[in-house]
A = this chain, B = another copy of it.
């Protein structure tokens, strides 16, 4: 018995995690995007957006939620149409995987209405097309953990190879989103096409150490491995106050601190919820004092479920 209507939630994600540019991502609990979708007799997709955020595309061909949903509908040719409302609460260009969250929420909702739905993992290629539309490249380091939950290593894009990895449940994530925008496309073009072999070696040692440290909850190891010698030095200058915010996070006891995705959000890792709240407060305060920027902080354990169906109705 398939539902006639469904509500889905897809969470924010922190990608890169310091050294793991384009390869590591983790899902957190909030913020996130919500989609409500229902079957309708008229074929194709009806789409509307509820949001107070600037910069959200309202055009059915340009919003990633409607774009990805349309791809699924065109693939499965259901005997019904879909009416979809995207409740877009995540800020655009935040470095929190905003586009992935919309794509994933829409894909999971549309899929839930289908008579013969895809498996969750098989939705990923459609969602990556949403990422391509939004960011110019089909990067999976937000999309995969947003869909699947937990930590994800994107081992390869050709063929797509997503490797889930465990994250010790004691660890707590902090993300602070300053009220300023960095476009993923711009943050990507700032990176060079070639990097020194010595930097690459240091980076892959840190990536390997970080996945070990996160799995074991090894705080000392995490502390040493959240070090990005490739992207952070170039991207930090796009985020007003970054250096001070990072210093404040570490001074408040963060195990590590770096840019979330392509920024401007900044993430940190803490060894307890109480410590995470102190770190988040120090970071938002520093954005205000050092760069005169208002910011919003989120504190969350790892979201091990990923996108979920909030409710389903009818049959």
Contacts and interface: CB of A to CB of B under 8 A. Distances in A.
A156 B224 contact: yes
A196 B230 CA distance: 12
Contacts of A225: 155
A208 B154 CA distance: 10
A156 B202 contact: yes
A194 B196 contact: yes
A59 interface: no
A1 interface: no
Interface residues of A, number: 39
A163 interface: yes
Nearest to A200: B200
Q: How many copies of this kind of chain does the complex include?
A: 2
A197 interface: yes
B207 A155 contact: no
Interface in A183-205: 191-198, 200-205
Given A161-B224, A224-B156, A200 B204 contact: yes
A19 B161 contact: no
A267 interface: no
Contact of A21 (B24, B192, B201, B206): B201
A221 interface: yes
A142 interface: no
Contacts of A3: none
B194 A155 contact: no
A154 to B, nearest CB: 6
A209 interface: yes
B200 A195 contact: yes
A22 B201 contact: yes
Nearest to A210: B208
B156 A19 contact: no
A248 interface: no
B200 A203 contact: yes
10 contacts: A20-B208, A23-B205, A161-B224, A193-B198, A194-B195, A200-B203, A204-B207, A207-B208, A208-B210, A211-B212
